């Protein structure tokens, strides 16, 4: 878990502002969801074969009344719960929503992988059109492009559906069983538990071994094959770079049909900047009516790591260029009044604090550290004559002027 200090907050601000702006431009509306849900939502939604469950990544609390609650490890199950619970099925369909906020997973900490991470998530609920898949993919992609990322590509796969996936898994298992002597123990275990995850293996030798494995794209039912072909056609119509990656299987159980990630140059395949896909069976898995859905989640810390690696520099926040300095007593009262009157007219202003008379040298040091351009000095003489002395810190002459000329002078 990390503290976000001011130097990094600039990056957060830029990412969140860009995400908000583009999400709105694509017609997504912001919502918020609670950080805690009943554990059962994730058992049924995210699934007990998912990484979050199998690797015991959830922060779960057993309540005194016997209920079990969990810090959200992801957003999608919560989105679907909120859709069902708030009667969104009776809103005009589809419902397009987005969110920004923290998620919690007890992962082994490593670069780009934290126990508290924040995600930008966008979801389209109540729509089966492959153009909806395209839209969430393009929203993610265009956020990274707007931020200044280079070398972006989509990794795309179809993960089939309950009609065609079991047949594919049987073929994959048969292939892997033929080569089981070459599988590392961890992959042997995956083969027993969830054969699709073997495709995801980073063990040495697996690239060669999997080169001959069957591809799910060749084993889709007609409905999934049509969906996949249309989505690819749309990506091509928009000239988007994508690779069909038959080894892209994602660690959450709810996916059907489309799964995708965005990879960026220099960040590495392991650190996908986002991941998402379609989850048409999720609603029924958590006890609702059938509601199709598609969306993605993008880790904000990951986006920021990528920005730093790619040399993207966020704009500095608009901090004061003006500081009001004084010598205590009556000059302090006048300084306080001046600082607030400047803020009132929209001039960002820093006020020097001092319980007693404070040396001008100390106030100048503070001004320099704070990147101030002009120090407005109120001494007893200035107060008596209703004047202000302006000391420029970036070069130029010190001037004393009538207090009522100050605002026009500063604005100029
Ligand atoms: P996910 O791939 O588990 O998918 O996470 C989405 C993104 O969140 C990842 O691509 C990564 O950027 C970031 N992320 C995940 N875990 C961590 C971590 N421990 N530290 C830092 N960043 C992390 C989901 O969560 C799905 N709910 C996405 C989705 C939305 N699918 C459909 N709709």
Does residue 119 line the site of ligand 1, with CB under 6 A?
Answer: yes
Number of C-alpha atoms within 13 angstroms, CB side, residue 135? 22
Give CA 236 to chain center in angstroms.
Answer: 26
Tens digit of pLDDT for each residue in 76-122?
999 999 999 999 999 999 999 999 999 999 998 888 889 999 999 99
> Is the CB of 44 inside a 6 Å radius of any atom of ligand 1?
no
**All residues at 6 or more sequence positions from 384 whose CB lies less than 8 Å from its CB, including other chains:** none
CA of 297 to the centre of ligand 1 (A): 5
Q: Whose CA is nearest to atom 2 of ligand 1?
A: 275
Q: What pLDDT does residue 251 have?
A: 80
- Identify which of 4, 281, 302 to mutate to test ligand 1's pocket (most ligand atoms within 8 A of the CB): 302
Between the CA of 42 and the centroid of ligand 1 the distance, in Å, is: 15
Please check the confidence at residue 269 and state whether its pLDDT lies above 80.
no
Q: What residue ranges in 159-210 does DSSP mark as E strands?
A: none
Pairing of strands 399-402, 293-299: unpaired
C-alpha 144/C-alpha 393 separation (Å) is 38
Q: Is the CB of 94 under 6 A from ligand 1?
A: no
Alpha carbon distance 343, 259 (integer Å): 50
User: Do 310 and 149 touch, CB atoms closer than 8 A?
Assistant: yes
As given in the structure block, the two tokens for residue 311 are: 């040399």
Domains of the chain: 6-164+220-309 (3.30.930.10), 322-411 (3.40.50.800)
Q: Which of 52-66, 213-227, 366-380 has the lowest mean pLDDT?
A: 52-66
- pLDDT value at 367 more than 70: yes
Q: Is residue 13 scored above 70 in pLDDT?
A: yes
Determine the atom of ligand 1 nearest the C-alpha atom of 302.
12
Residue 271 — pLDDT band, cuts 50, 70, 90?
low
* Minimum-distance ligand 1 atom for the alpha carbon of 136: 33
Atom number in ligand 1 closest to CA 121: 30
369 vs 194, more confident: 369
Q: Nearest CA to 388 among 406, 374, 372, 412?
A: 406
Ligand 1 midpoint to CA 364 (Å) = 47
Cα–Cα distance between 221 and 18 in angstroms, integer? Answer: 38
C-alpha 150 to ligand 1 mean position (Å): 21
Query: For residue 296, which of 73, 124, 58, 81 has the smallest C-alpha distance?
Result: 124
What digits encode the pLDDT tens for the residues 303-359? Answer: 999 999 989 999 988 999 999 999 999 999 999 999 999 999 999 999 999 998 999
The model carries a pTM of: 0.93
Pocket lining: 72 vs ligand 1, CB cutoff 6 Å: no
**CA nearest to 215, candidates 240, 194, 246:** 246
Residue nearest to atom 20 of ligand 1 (CA): 113
Mean pLDDT of 31-55: 89
Q: Examine the pLDDT at 6 and tell me if it is beyond 60.
A: yes
**pLDDT (0 to 100) of residue 143:** 98
Strand order in the sheet with 387-392: 349-351, 322-326, 374-378, 387-392, 399-402
């Amino acid at each position: 878990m990390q503290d976000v200090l001011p130097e990094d907050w600039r990056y957060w601000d830029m990412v969140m502002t860009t995400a908000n702006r583009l999400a709105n431009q694509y017609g997504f509306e912001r919502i918020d969801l609670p950080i805690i849900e009943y554990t059962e939502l994730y058992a049924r939604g995210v699934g007990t074969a998912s990484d979050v469950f199998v690797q015991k990544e959830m922060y779960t609390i057993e309540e005194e009344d016997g209920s079990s609650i969990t810090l959200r490890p992801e957003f999608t199950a919560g989105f679907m719960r909120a859709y069902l619970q708030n009667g969104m099925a009776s809103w005009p369909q589809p419902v397009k929503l987005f969110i920004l906020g923290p998620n919690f997973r007890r992962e082994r900490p490593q670069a780009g992988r934290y126990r508290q991470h924040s995600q930008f998530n966008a979801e389209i609920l109540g729509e089966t059109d492959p153009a909806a898949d395209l839209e969430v993919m393009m929203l993610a992609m265009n956020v990274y492009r707007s931020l200044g990322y280079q070398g972006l590509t989509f990794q795309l796969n179809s993960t089939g559906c309950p009609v065609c996936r079991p047949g594919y898994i049987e073929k994959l298992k048969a292939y892997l069983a033929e080569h089981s002597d070459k599988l590392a123990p961890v992959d042997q275990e995956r083969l027993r538990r969830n054969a699709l995850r073997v495709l995801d293996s980073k063990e040495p030798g697996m690239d060669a071994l999997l080169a001959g494995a069957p591809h799910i794209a060749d084993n889709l039912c007609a409905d999934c094959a049509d969906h996949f072909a249309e989505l690819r056609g749309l990506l091509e119509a928009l000239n988007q770079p994508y690779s069909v990656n038959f080894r892209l299987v994602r660690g959450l159980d709810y996916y059907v049909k489309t799964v995708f990630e965005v990879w960026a140059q220099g960040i590495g395949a392991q650190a996908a900047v986002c991941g998402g896909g379609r989850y048409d069976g999720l609603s029924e898995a958590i006890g609702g009516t059938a509601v199709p859905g598609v969306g993605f989640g993008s880790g904000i810390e990951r986006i920021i790591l990528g920005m730093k690696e790619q040399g993207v520099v966020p704009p500095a926040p608009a901090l004061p260029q003006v500081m009001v300095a004084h010598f205590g007593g009556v000059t302090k009262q006048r300084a306080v009044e001046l600082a607030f009157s400047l803020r009132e007219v929209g001039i960002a202003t820093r006020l020097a604090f001092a319980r007693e008379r404070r040396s001008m040298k100390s106030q100048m040091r503070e001004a320099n550290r704070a990147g101030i351009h002009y120090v407005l000095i109120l001494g007893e003489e200035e107060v008596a004559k209703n004047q202000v002395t302006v000391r420029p810190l970036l070069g130029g002459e010190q001037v004393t002027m009538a207090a009522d000329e100050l605002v026009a002078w500063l604005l100029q």
